[in-house]
């Protein structure tokens, strides 16, 4: 009952869901009706994260969400509230340092965002109010305001174009700041507002715009404008993306325009697009979390052991309460359980430095600063576009060194996306530009049965179709509202294919002269100007894979011209009558031409047309207008109408356009294969074209045996049965060939055994992914994945964008979670770029959507080689060493503290002074490892790029696996034991000076700490292979700073410090020759295993080189060099190579 009453009360609300109504100029439609202004957001842009009032609480909340920061906060609070052996400063100061540095960094970045926001919000704009131009601040624009924009100004909000200074109501816009496309795009005003070119006339307009609510897609907009005359009869016109001027775009080649604000401030498409993408996490971050859990377990174990042994020790009365340390009455009355818990927390505090809190800051700094090396790399600079590489996120630098699968687009990624018209087929006859000129066309014969050429009318019809069926615009040097026969034409389009086809038609005598007043002008071979009224443009979309135009010629005849992929055109061709042998032969010959062109690597398109009777056009026009005017489900309704219109067409011919292979694309793919990576090509092109490109770029070798799962190998009837048979057959074949398939063996196999490649198309993939649970077909996917994993390369053709993402997701979820990388250049590649672990965008000719949504962007595909094999390799080695080193040096630091408890009755007595506890991670050992993690090159960059097989040595997160982790842990345990017991045995004679002065526990701890600092720093020096002045400065400077600080803290330099417990300890310690000898000896003993290992590896490496040289000299006839000696090396072998 209540629901029905509510529905009646809210009648009409359902229609308004997802839409908004905007009154142009904020004028009411009728002066007799009351106008209530709607509430929309203002035009302020807010990209900042904090304000002056919420910065502190919000930033602290976000930082303490990190588990390490929260852990140290708890430790600090325990130290404050519980009687712990160390001062709260020891954990509070490092935590304060980390929090402060991070807060300053984030605060500075946010201040820059505030400043950028104010520059935009406080800029002045022209608004039309009461027929006058009024200057206002940009942030004061309201939805419905009419805005005037001058040439070369950026649009202050999302506007619907009402009129411009041109007679046809068009304007030219660049959207480089939005999607990176620098070419001019044409936008249109509706015909009813074109004449309103002054402030006075535009103020008289009474109109309401109904449009969708704000959404981030830059290329979609659904709306309609209702224009009211004096009689209040509304004239409705549809609005689409061609009418919408986006905030951030720039007006070009047009003196001024008038537009009405529909989306403002944070509701503009630009603002909605800048709200971040989902966060990706690298494998190294996951390893860090695993190591943290292990070390937290070690910490808890140490605290539990010490707590237990303390009470075992105190079970003897003379240990529990000695005569010199009597308990107070309060201590005697305290519950034993509570006392044990307090002691456990105290030991936790004492050993808490085993968890390296400063590691997070160091890792963030390493990633942030390290990302600049990619941007600064001159090898990534492209002279053609005058740009280099760009890093959109620095969180995944090390992931570049862990890639297992590379998914690449074909067009614009492997190829140049620079199209050249090569040949065509008209009515079954092949033409190209090689042989004689015949009536403006060059012709070569196809099959020997066709010696004649096509009918003259068919030739002209085909060329007219190329001149009319496109969205190409003319841009001239002296005018923007049309072209003349004498001016030099510059064609502009978002698709290079269309420009190539229009230029191809021009080459053969038919020249497109542009569009003027909705009339497309064409100059034919006889130099006559033909005009065609453009009635409708049915734009290309990836689902239909075709585009059409409906035009009317000067005689009044109406034509539909359509071009598109052959798979989208041929099924829509009118089937000829059985007696029409000539027509049937022409269609068959065209199909054969398309297949031959595709096998030669050309991109092919079918071209068709049909006559439309006036009565049919009235129906079509009505259906199109109804679909375009729909605010809800406009795309679905348009799809239904277009599907009905583009049927029963007549085939004219087909075109072949060449897209040249990118420079060094083949060499790059070979290098990736040699590095053990599996390369998959995911493309929307037809199989023959993609297959030819794969051979050209050496994805497939001549010896590669291809396994096909396509509609050709699977017949239409009983497709699932045939698919199942093929899947079983291929799996058996591959299992016989490769009975064992470990990850490492799969990478070696490509050099030694038969290589297999798989080809699958979109239709078959849909059958596999969407297989039902009946008839045993549920295992299609698992069998398919088994086949893919045993193939060296996979080609997926006829792929929709969603299918590309599905493929990537499927491989990501394989056992072992392989690391995936996707690279592409177009909007259709965005889905797979976002889905993969690492997304790389090519700054291509299909716009910058892929580059904007990627983690990294590079100008060319060839740059992927150095990005992975050099930068990725080095980034991974550096950060893996950083992580292991941090845990190593902290275990070295805390283990002597743990051992010390066995000699002080588990009394929680600190071994080190509080200043040393605080400064160890912040000052004494932080800079050397940061410099190492930024500058280290254990192998020369040229060697890394020239020998891709080195990439396999670090694959599978090799340096952060259990083996290396245990090695570093046992090394730290060994060295920590040497530090403590070496000093302990030195102290068997407590008087180390001639005057009989006795050393105390602070001297003992200082000797241990000195050996510790020098050992872990010199260990890093031994690991360094690439020395720069920065490495020398931070390593030796850190040691010098430690000595200086110790003298300072001991009161030698600053005598006012003589009241504290470390007064003169360091200076007194160094006055003993025995202490000097002990420190040097203990450092040598600690580093001796490392030095011995380096010597043994050097000898073995030289021996391996000599043996390898001998084998190569004796076996010079081998086709491919053996990689077994290289693969048998460990990473440490390579780390000693220069």
Query: In the numeric block, which tokens belong to residue 684?
Result: 């929307």
Query: In the numeric block, which tokens belong to residue 1003?
Result: 């001297």
Query: In the numeric block, which tokens belong to residue 639?
Result: 């799809």
SS3 content of the chain, % helix, strand, coil (to 5): 50, 20, 30
- Residue that is written with structure tokens 């799996």 in the block: 731
The answer to whether the CB of 1003 falls within 8 A of the CB of 974 is: no
Angstrom distance (rounded) from CA 991 to CA 999: 6
φ/ψ region of 991 (left if φ > 0, alpha if ψ in -120 to 50, else beta) reads: beta
Query: In the numeric block, which tokens belong to residue 529?
Result: 């100007």
User: Beta-carbon neighbour count of residue 710 at 10 Å?
Assistant: 17
The answer to whether the CB of 885 falls within 8 A of the CB of 931 is: no
- Taking alpha carbons only, the member of 196, 216, 213 closest to residue 260 is 196
Residues serving a catalytic function are 409
Angstrom distance (rounded) from CA 883 to CA 524: 71
For helices 926-935 and 873-900, angle between their N-to-C axes, nearest 10 degrees: 160
Contacts of 39 (CB under 8 A, 6+ apart): none
Angstrom distance (rounded) from CA 524 to CA 535: 21
Angstrom distance (rounded) from CA 781 to CA 988: 71
- Residue that is written with structure tokens 């203990």 in the block: 1082
Query: What phi and psi, each to the nearest 5 degrees, are found at residue 265?
Result: 55, -130
Angstrom distance (rounded) from CA 1067 to CA 1046: 8
The answer to whether the CB of 192 falls within 8 A of the CB of 205 is: no
φ/ψ region of 440 (left if φ > 0, alpha if ψ in -120 to 50, else beta) reads: left
Angstrom distance (rounded) from CA 626 to CA 464: 29
Is the Cα dihedral 1061, 1064, 1070, 1075 positive or negative? negative
Angstrom distance (rounded) from CA 1050 to CA 1061: 8
The answer to whether the CB of 864 falls within 8 A of the CB of 840 is: yes
Question: H helices within 42-157, ranges in order?
Answer: 55-63, 67-81, 89-121
User: Beta-carbon neighbour count of residue 581 at 10 Å?
Assistant: 10
Question: H helices within 13-54, ranges in order?
Answer: 13-16
Q: What is the DSSP letter of 84?
A: -
- Taking alpha carbons only, the member of 760, 823, 762 closest to residue 795 is 760
Distances (CA, A) of 714 to 717, 789, 806: 8, 22, 22
Angstrom distance (rounded) from CA 976 to CA 84: 24
| SS3 call for 513 | strand
- Residue that is written with structure tokens 């002066």 in the block: 31
For helices 962-986 and 1073-1114, angle between their N-to-C axes, nearest 10 degrees: 150
The answer to whether the CB of 614 falls within 8 A of the CB of 552 is: no
Q: 889 exposed, middle or buried (CB, 10 Å; 0-12, 13-18, 19+)?
A: buried
Angstrom distance (rounded) from CA 506 to CA 490: 12
Q: What is the DSSP letter of 409?
A: -
């Amino acid at each position: 009952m209540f629901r029905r009453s509510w529905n009646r009360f809210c009648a009409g609300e359902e229609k308004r869901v997802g839409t908004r109504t905007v009154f142009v100029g904020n004028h009411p439609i009728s002066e007799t009706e009351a106008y209530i202004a709607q509430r929309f957001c203002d035009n302020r842009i807010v990209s900042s994260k904090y304000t002056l009032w919420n910065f502190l609480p919000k930033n602290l909340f976000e930082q303490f969400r990190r588990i390490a920061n929260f852990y140290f906060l708890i430790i600090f609070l325990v130290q404050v509230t519980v009687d712990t052996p160390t001062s709260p400063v020891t954990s509070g100061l490092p935590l304060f340092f980390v929090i402060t540095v991070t807060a300053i960094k984030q605060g500075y970045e946010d201040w820059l965002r505030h400043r950028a926001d104010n520059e935009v919000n406080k800029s002045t704009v022209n608004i039309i109010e009461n027929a006058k131009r009024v200057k206002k601040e940009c942030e004061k624009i309201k939805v419905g305001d009419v805005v005037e924009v001058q040439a070369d100004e950026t649009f202050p909000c999302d506007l619907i174009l009402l009129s411009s200074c041109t007679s046809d109501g068009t304007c030219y816009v660049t959207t480089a700041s939005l999607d990176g496309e620098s070419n001019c795009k044409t936008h249109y005003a509706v015909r009813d507002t074109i004449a309103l070119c002054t402030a006075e006339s535009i103020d008289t307009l009474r109109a309401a715009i109904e449009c969708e609510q704000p959404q981030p897609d830059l290329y979609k907009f659904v709306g309609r404008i209702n224009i009211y005359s004096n009689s209040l009869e509304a004239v409705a016109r549809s609005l689409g993306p061609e009418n919408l001027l986006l905030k951030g775009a720039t007006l070009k080649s047009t003196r001024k325009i008038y537009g009405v604000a529909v989306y403002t401030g944070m509701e503009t498409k630009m603002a909605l697009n800048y709200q971040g993408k989902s966060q990706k996490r690298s494998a190294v971050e996951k390893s860090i979390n695993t190591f943290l859990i292990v070390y937290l377990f070690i910490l808890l174990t140490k605290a539990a052991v010490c707590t237990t042994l303390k009470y075992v020790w105190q079970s003897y009365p003379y240990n529990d309460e000695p005569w010199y340390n009597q308990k107070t009455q309060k201590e005697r009355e305290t519950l034993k359980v509570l006392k044990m818990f307090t002691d456990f927390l105290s030991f936790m505090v004492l050993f808490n430095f085993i968890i390296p809190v400063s590691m997070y800051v160091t890792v963030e700094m390493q990633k942030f600063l390290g990302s600049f090396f990619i941007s600064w790399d001159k090898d990534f600079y492209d002279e053609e576009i005058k740009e280099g590489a760009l890093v959109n996120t620095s969180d995944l630098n090390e992931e570049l060194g862990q890639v297992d699968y590379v998914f690449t687009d074909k067009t614009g990624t492997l190829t140049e996306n620079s199209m050249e018209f090569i040949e065509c087929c008209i009515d079954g006859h092949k033409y190209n530009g090689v042989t004689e000129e015949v009536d403006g066309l060059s012709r070569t014969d196809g099959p020997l049965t066709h010696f004649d050429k096509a009918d003259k009318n068919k030739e002209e019809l085909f060329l007219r179709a190329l001149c009319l069926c496109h969205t190409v615009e003319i841009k001239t040097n002296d005018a923007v509202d049309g072209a003349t026969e004498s001016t030099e034409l510059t064609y502009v389009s978002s698709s290079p294919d269309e420009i190539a086809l229009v230029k191809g038609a021009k080459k053969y005598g038919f020249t497109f002269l542009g569009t003027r007043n909705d009339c497309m002008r064409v100059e034919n071979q006889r130099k006559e100007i033909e005009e065609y009224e453009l009635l409708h443009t049915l734009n290309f979309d990836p689902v239909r894979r075709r585009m059409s135009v409906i035009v009317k010629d000067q005689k009044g005849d109406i034509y539909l011209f359509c071009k598109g992929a052959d798979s989208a055109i041929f099924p829509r061709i009118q089937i000829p009558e059985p007696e029409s042998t000539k027509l049937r032969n022409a269609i068959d010959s065209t199909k054969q031409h398309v297949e031959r062109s595709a096998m030669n690597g050309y991109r092919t398109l079918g071209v068709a047309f049909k006559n439309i009777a006036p009565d049919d056009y009235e129906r079509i026009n009505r259906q199109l207008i109804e679909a375009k005017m729909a605010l809800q489900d406009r795309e679905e309704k348009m799809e239904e109408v277009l599907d009905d219109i583009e049927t029963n067409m007549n085939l004219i011919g087909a075109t072949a356009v060449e897209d040249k292979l990118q420079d060094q694309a083949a060499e790059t793919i070979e290098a990736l294969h040699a590095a053990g990576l599996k390369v998959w090509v995911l493309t929307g092109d037809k199989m023959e074209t993609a297959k030819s490109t794969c051979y050209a770029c050496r994805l497939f070798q001549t010896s590669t045996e291809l396994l096909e799962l396509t509609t050709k190998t699977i017949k239409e009837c009983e497709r699932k049965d045939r698919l199942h048979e093929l899947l079983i057959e291929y799996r058996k074949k591959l299992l016989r060939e490769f009975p064992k398939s470990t990850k490492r063996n799969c990478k070696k196999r490509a050099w030694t055994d038969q290589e297999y490649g798989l080809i699958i198309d979109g239709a078959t993939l849909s059958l596999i992914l969407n297989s039902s649970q009946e008839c045993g077909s549920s295992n299609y996917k698992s069998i398919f994945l088994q086949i893919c994993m045993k193939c060296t390369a996979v080609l997926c053709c006829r792929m929709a964008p969603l299918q590309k993402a599905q493929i990537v997701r499927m491989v990501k979820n394989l056992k072992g979670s392989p690391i995936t990388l996707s690279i592409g250049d177009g909007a259709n590649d965005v889905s797979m770029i976002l889905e993969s672990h690492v997304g790389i965008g090519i700054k291509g000719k299909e716009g910058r959507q892929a580059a904007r949504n990627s983690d990294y962007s590079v100008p060319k595909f060839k740059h992927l080689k150095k990005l992975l094999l050099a930068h990725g390799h080095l980034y991974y080695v550096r950060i893996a060493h950083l992580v292991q080193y941090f845990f190593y040096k902290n275990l070295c630091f805390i283990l002597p503290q743990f051992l010390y408890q066995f000699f002080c009755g588990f009394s929680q007595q600190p071994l080190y002074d509080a200043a040393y506890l605080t400064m160890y991670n912040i000052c004494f050992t932080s800079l050397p490892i940061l410099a190492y993690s930024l500058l280290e090159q254990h192998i020369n960059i040229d060697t890394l790029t020239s020998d891709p097989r080195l990439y396999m040595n670090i694959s599978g997160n090799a340096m952060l696996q259990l083996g290396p982790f245990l090695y570093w842990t046992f090394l730290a345990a060994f060295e920590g034991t040497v530090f403590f017991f070496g000093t302990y045995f030195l102290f068997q004679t407590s008087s180390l000076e001639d005057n009989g002065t006795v050393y105390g526990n602070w001297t003992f701890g200082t000797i241990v700490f000195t050996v510790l600092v020098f050992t872990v720093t010199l260990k890093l020096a031994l690991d360094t292979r690439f020395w720069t002045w920065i490495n020398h400065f931070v390593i030796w400077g850190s040691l010098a700073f430690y000595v200086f600080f110790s003298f300072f803290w001991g009161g030698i330099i600053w005598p006012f410090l003589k009241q504290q417990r470390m007064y003169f300890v360091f200076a007194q310690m160094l006055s003993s020759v025995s202490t000097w000898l002990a420190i040097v000896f203990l450092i040598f003993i600690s580093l001796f295993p490392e030095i011995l290992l380096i010597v043994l590896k050097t000898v073995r490496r030289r021996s391996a080189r000599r043996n390898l040289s001998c084998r190569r000299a004796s076996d010079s006839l081998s086709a491919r060099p053996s990689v077994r000696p290289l693969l048998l090396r460990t990473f440490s072998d390579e780390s000693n190579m220069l």
